[in-house]
Amino acid sequence: MFVATLLTNPNRPVLDRVTVESLRNAWGGGDAVWLDPGVAAEFSVAAMPVNRWDVWQGLQGIGVDLVVQRAEGRRKKLLIADMDSTMIEQECIDELADEAGVGAYVAGITARAMNGELDFEDALRERVGLLKGLPATVIAQVVRDRITLMSGGPQLLATMKANGAHAALVSGGFTAFTSAIAGMLGFDENRANILLIEDNKLTGQVAEPILGRAAKVTALEEISTRLGISIADAIAVGDGANDLGMLGLAGAGVALHAKPAVAAQCDLRVNHGDLTALLYMQGYSREEFVA
């Protein structure tokens, strides 16, 4: 048995009953259940619809996301999340680069690396090199003044943790940021790269080995093993090419507002909803959300 979930941006609740019922009837699905009126609804289907992606493409045009997944085991025990452009709205290295006066150049490299056009590790070394000499105090300033949480993140963390899930923030960014964001959102642990600092200034280097795509897969495997759960019990979320390994391995891998080349390789794609989409996909209703 499968479940089809339709959802949209909670700030623009455009999902209507006609859209939901029309698709349910076309696919011969079970009764529609509204998880949040105007925002999210679901219904069961006996098999994976052969025209899933054609329907998905049509719904994208009206601002609606469609996810079809197996019904069994969709409530997860582990959330493993990317940070930059996933749990926060920014790319931390781009914000640091802006402070160093090389923002536009570094942002261009970041975009290409996240789309899989450049080797992640080499691109990170190049970008960090351009930060050499930046006062370490700038990191705290960037966290305070430039970083904003992605919509729906607090509800996602609070709700999953209230239902017994473990949460890990695993980033190709830096521990100076993940530790702060993990504290704000309530992650149980965080992993990231370490910016090297001497005399209270960035050295332009990052500690080796660099946490990239393979390290995120390792984190998923290690944390699952430590918790005594299967990787099928994990839901992973990310947007960049370095997330593809963990997105493909986890029981549910969600490409959230992802780069086109990344989204194309993922079955679970959210382009319009926010992070609460991960709760709707697990069958949580708005009434079950923890503030």
Q: What is the pLDDT of residues 184-201, one digit of tens each?
A: 999 999 999 999 999 999
Q: What is the pLDDT of residues 15-59, one digit of tens each?
A: 999 999 999 999 999 999 999 999 999 999 999 999 999 999 999
Is 139 found in the same domain as 280?
yes
Contacts of 177 (CB under 8 A, 6+ apart): 83, 92, 139, 142, 143, 147, 171, 192
Domain boundary among 23, 38, 72: 72
Strands 64-70 and 2-8: antiparallel
Is 56 found in the same domain as 82?
no
HEC string of 149-167 equals ECCCHHHHHHHHHHCCCEE
Give CA–CA dist 113/134, Å, rounded.
23
What pLDDT score was predicted for residue 291? 82
Is 96 found in the same domain as 54?
no
Give CA–CA dist 6/35, Å, rounded.
10
Single out the catalytic residue among 82, 233, 243, 274. Answer: 82
For residue 283, the surrounding DSSP H or E stretch is none
Is 167 found in the same domain as 30?
no
Bridge partners (DSSP) listed for residue 79? 167, 235
Is 207 found in the same domain as 267?
yes
Is 206 found in the same domain as 67?
no
84 catalytic residue (yes or no): yes
What pLDDT score was predicted for residue 220? 98
Is 215 found in the same domain as 191?
yes
Is 184 found in the same domain as 46?
no
Q: What is the pLDDT of residues 203-246, one digit of tens each?
A: 999 999 999 999 999 999 999 999 999 999 999 999 999 999 99
Bridge partners (DSSP) listed for residue 69? 3
Residue 287: which CATH number? 3.40.50.1000
Is 19 found in the same domain as 117?
no
What pLDDT score was predicted for residue 259? 86
Residue 169 token pair: 């923030």
Is 145 found in the same domain as 261?
yes
31 catalytic residue (yes or no): no
Is 153 found in the same domain as 285?
yes
Residue 14: which CATH number? 3.30.70
- The whole domain housing 263 covers 76-291
Burial of 169 (0-12, 13-18, 19+ CB in 10 A): buried
Is 90 found in the same domain as 66?
no
Total domains, the chain: 2
Q: Which of 10, 2, 1 is nearest to 279 (CA)?
A: 10
> Taking the CA atoms of the chain, what radius of gyration do you get in angstroms?
19
pLDDT (average), residues 134-148: 96
Query: Which pTM does this prediction carry?
Result: 0.96
Single out the catalytic residue among 84, 94, 233, 243. Answer: 84
Domain boundary among 72, 102, 117: 72
Domain boundary among 72, 102, 123: 72
Q: Which of 158, 280, 143, 167 is nearest to 219 (CA)?
A: 167
For residue 250, the surrounding DSSP H or E stretch is none
